[in-house]
Structure 1
Amino acid sequence: MEDAHVAQLNLEGKKNHAFFGVFDGHNGYKIAKYCSGHILDELMATPEYREGVYDEAFKKAFISLDMKLSEMPTLRSEGGTAIICVLLAHGEIVCANAGDSRAVLFRGDRAIPLSSDHKPTVAAEKARIEKAGGTVQCQRINGTIALSRAIGDFDFKDNPKIIWEEQMVTALPEVNKDRLTSEDAFIVIACDGVWDVLSNEECCDIVKKGLKETDGDIGLVCEMVLDKCLAPRVQGVGCDNMTIIVAQFKPAFFC
């Protein structure tokens, strides 16, 4: 298992503050595990976090953590990890993503994506890859790696002529923000092992029905989603590592 996750409720003692993260490791688990244990501290250490400028705080935290890992001999050769984090603070939903994991908000009766998948074939990603000296072959960077943003993967961050954020594989996250509303029911955060099988709408539909059938048992609901991904109908697609977090909003959260 190369995945890791973190879920911190009542962040800084505040009942309506929370932090969630999913880390989908590849070519080893160590960087995913390290990130899960350090990203929140890295985020909260930025001046921007204290100022409530969460998008810039996330960007600094991801890059800082990535650069620190690049200087650790015991970890820099241990592959990499896709990383997606969701912060709930001061009535905001802030999602920071680098890779192909995904977060989806279920609001009213709609599945609203909070992130975009970072694949080498996306035009903006491909342009950065080529500018950094790479190519996109068979939907992979240099025919090797199938995502264009990640922490780690330092073999793809060795062009001395360009800044860290513009390397073939960058740790710079894409950050999206939204305001919390009373219509918000839950957020699903999961790695690509889930999204390769289920659409945003399919996943949210399973969660919605599961919450009703299990009287809000989040653990059972997550099992229902993963079981669906492993069902015979997927014809062997559901064989990747799979990690999922479901964060359900209770009415008291909005008080």
Structure 2
Amino acid sequence: MGDTLSKPVTDKHTSTFETTHLNVGCCGMQGWRKSMEDAHVAQLNLEGDRTQALFGVFDGHNGHLVAKYAGAHIVDTLVSTHAYGDKAYDAAFVETFEKLDSTLDANQELRNEGGCTAVSVLLTASQVICANAGDSRAVLCRNGTALPLSSDHKPSLAAEIARIEKAGGCVQNNRVNGTLALSRAIGDFEFKENTELPWDQQMITALPDITINEIGSGDSFIVLACDGVWDVLSNQQCCDAIKDGLQQTQGDVGLVCEMVLDRCLAKEAPGIGCDNMTIIIVVLKPAFFGSSTSS
């Protein structure tokens, strides 16, 4: 890659949060890239509910400003929707992604600043709701097994190709119009200029896929990360690394985040492991279930 440094920036920006119900670690590392374009959000005690929280990872491309904007505004945008108040969380996420996208489109200072993936997890007392647009990813560790909460949106997928071509684009070398290596994102408005089609049918769309899973006592943690992590580790490898790390560190979730990023960092560039990396680990504590969890 032409945008790699001679040596990686391995400084990590780590934060941890803990309530009676959750233990959360967040970590970002620039790595071999010349700039850091990721953003993330971790909002606990959402709307005053200690079992409700929102987490998100936003992987920027062609700049960091869209990712920063999405991370800064997703919580307020989500909770302000009528669907959220009605607990129609799937509809609330769709409306939220559309609002973030349309607001950026109307912002002359930001609309030409690239785009970002967005994977978000809303945690309630009984459910984990995931909304994803792009190739960042969320995974739930259930009884030690990785359960994917999202699917990557790549231009090579048949359904994505059909939408891209209908909107007037093409897929070349697994990239939209030969340039963008993902098929859904917030921003990237140069791919959203077909005035005959609605927002969710553009070449690049911000429309998220939504999954809803009931939470049980066998669920131990949720991990969200950008593709810089998933390019190196499979879902199961990542869950195994986190599980082992939590045991080794006696539950130091921030340190475990750093351990995962160190494991994913390439020893030399270019190649896999040279991207920006951001990870959030959400450990569900026994009090979350009202009884002990199994790992």
TM range (shorter): over 0.9
Contact 1:82 1:151 in 2 (8 A): yes
Q: Cα gap change, 1:82/1:178 in structure 2, threshold over 3 Å: closer, same or farther?
A: same
The structural deviation recorded for 1:236 is: 3.7
1:128 aligns with 2:163: yes
The structural deviation recorded for 1:235 is: 8.0
The structural deviation recorded for 1:234 is: 9.9
CA distance, structure 2, for counterparts of residue 40 and residue 252 of structure 1 = 24
2:24 aligned partner: none
CA distance, structure 1, for counterparts of residue 271 and residue 109 of structure 2 = 35
2:79 aligned partner: 44
Q: Residue 48 of structure 1 aligns to a residue in which SS? A: helix
- The aligned amino acid for 2:178 is G
- The aligned amino acid for 2:169 is G
The structural deviation recorded for 1:90 is: 3.7
Q: Residue 58 of structure 2 aligns to a residue in which SS? A: strand
The structural deviation recorded for 1:233 is: 9.5
1:167 aligned partner: 202
Q: Cα gap change, 1:204/1:129 in structure 2, threshold over 3 Å: closer, same or farther?
A: same
Higher relative contact order (CA 8 A, sep 6+): 2
Bigger helix share? 1
Contact 1:197 1:234 in 2 (8 A): no
The structural deviation recorded for 1:10 is: 1.2
CA distance, structure 2, for counterparts of residue 37 and residue 197 of structure 1 = 28
The structural deviation recorded for 1:65 is: 1.0
CA distance, structure 1, for counterparts of residue 268 and residue 110 of structure 2 = 39
* Aligned counterparts, 1:1-255, within 5 A: 1-230=36-265, 232=267, 236-255=271-290
Superposed CA RMSD in Å reads 1.2
CA distance, structure 2, for counterparts of residue 127 and residue 173 of structure 1 = 17
Bigger strand share? 2
CA distance, structure 2, for counterparts of residue 57 and residue 130 of structure 1 = 28
Structure 2: runs of 5 or more not aligned: 1-35, 291-295
- The aligned amino acid for 1:21 is G
Contact 2:167 2:197 in 1 (8 A): yes
Structure 1: runs of 5 or more not aligned: none
- The aligned amino acid for 1:9 is L
CA distance, structure 1, for counterparts of residue 145 and residue 233 of structure 2 = 15
- The aligned amino acid for 1:227 is D
Q: TM-score, normalised by structure 1?
A: 0.98
Q: TM-score, normalised by structure 2?
A: 0.85
CA distance, structure 1, for counterparts of residue 222 and residue 116 of structure 2 = 21
